[in-house]
Amino acid sequence: MLRRNFITGLAAGTAGLTVLGRPGLGLAQVAAPTTAPAPAAPPAPPVFTLPPLGYGYEALEPHIDTATMRIHHSGHHQAYVTNANALVAQWDGLKTTPIETVLADLNAVPENVRTGVRNNVGGHWNHSFFWDLMTPGGAKQPSAELRSAMEASIGSTTDLVTKLNAAAMGRFGSGWAWLVVDKDKKIAIISTANQDTPLELGAKPVLGVDVWEHAYYLKHQSRRAAYLTAWWQVVNWDKANENFKKAMA
């Protein structure tokens, strides 16, 4: 009797193991439920991005050639954007400080990244401003308001072209020539070296022309004057007028 009860109990226990696991597996071999790992957070978007031109690389032909526009925008400007984003890891201020504020007071930038910020964040800002100043259409003359301000300080539109070209030709090496509203709310013409901006001088730009060789060498080689003549044919006076109103506000 005792032996029969033992065998009956053993059979019942074995049946219990089969229910708890798959047939042939012991209780200890039953897989424990697992919790799926939480999905990784998406990477933060870059602080600086390459702006679209708003027109095709070929749109400024025959004055500014397609190859130059493509290389200038997708190559040179993209390099400034890439380098500027690399600097974010070295200085958190680039995440929270408006770019114009950074460039207007470079002495507030930590010394270990200041040159990089000047060159790359400055290069990004200058080029972003520059693309909007060219257009395959639009007004061909400054507004009456801008023309009046120019005449009070530098002369006629013809005088503007002559004097801005002189500043551009006089810039030794690489840099920019600018029509700006200065700290006294007066129209002025200045030039800056490399990727320095008028913002550091307390000026607000109305027009700006890039005279780095990468802006013209493919088509004009060393003939900077020929490039300037071509550039005036695509100046976006609508945008210049807008810049002037903003600077005077």
- Supply angle C-alpha 140, 146, 151, rounded to 5: 105
Residue 198 within a domain: yes
Residue 223 within a domain: yes
Structural domain containing residue 124: 62-249
Q: What is the pLDDT of residue 137?
A: 83
What DSSP string runs through 199-227?
GGGT-EEEEEEE-SGGGTHHHHTT-HHHH
Distance CA 141, CA 60 (A): 18
Task: Return the structure tokens found at 70.
Answer: 């493509």
In a 13 Å sphere around the CA of 128, the CA atoms on its Cβ side amount to 16
Q: What is the pLDDT of residue 11?
A: 45
Residue 135 within a domain: yes
What DSSP character marks residue 178? E
Averaged pLDDT score across all residues of the chain: 88
pLDDT for residue 16 is more than 80: no
Residue showing tokens 């020539």? 177
As for how many domains the chain has, the answer is 1
- Note the pLDDT tens digit of each residue in 166-218: 999 999 999 999 999 999 999 999 999 999 999 999 999 999 999 999 999 99
Q: What is the pLDDT of residue 140?
A: 86
Residue 159 within a domain: yes
Of the listed ranges 31-40, 106-115, 124-133, 136-145, the one predicted with least confidence:
31-40
Residue 150 within a domain: yes
- Note the pLDDT tens digit of each residue in 207-246: 999 999 999 999 999 999 999 999 999 999 999 999 999 9
pLDDT for residue 71 is more than 60: yes
pLDDT for residue 34 is more than 80: no
Residue 90 within a domain: yes
**With bands split at pLDDT 50, 70 and 90, how would you rate the model's confidence at 36?**
low
Of the listed ranges 12-16, 61-65, 92-96, 121-125, the one predicted with least confidence:
12-16
Alpha-helix runs per DSSP H in 92-156: 93-96, 99-104, 111-116, 122-131, 144-153
Distance CA 94, CA 212 (A): 26
Order of strands, sheet of 204-210, starting from the edge strand that comes earlier in the sequence? 187-193, 175-181, 204-210
Angle at which helices 237-248 and 144-153 cross, to 10°: 70
Select, from the ranges 4-13, 73-82, 134-143, the one with the highest average predicted confidence (pLDDT): 73-82
Mean pLDDT of 125-142: 93
Residue 56 within a domain: no
Residue showing tokens 């001088």? 201
Task: Return the structure tokens found at 19.
Answer: 């229910």
Residue 106 within a domain: yes
In a 13 Å sphere around the CA of 142, the CA atoms on its Cβ side amount to 24
CATH number, domain at 143?
Answer: 3.55.40.20
Q: Say which residue, 18 or 175, is predicted with more confidence.
A: 175
pLDDT for residue 22 is more than 50: no
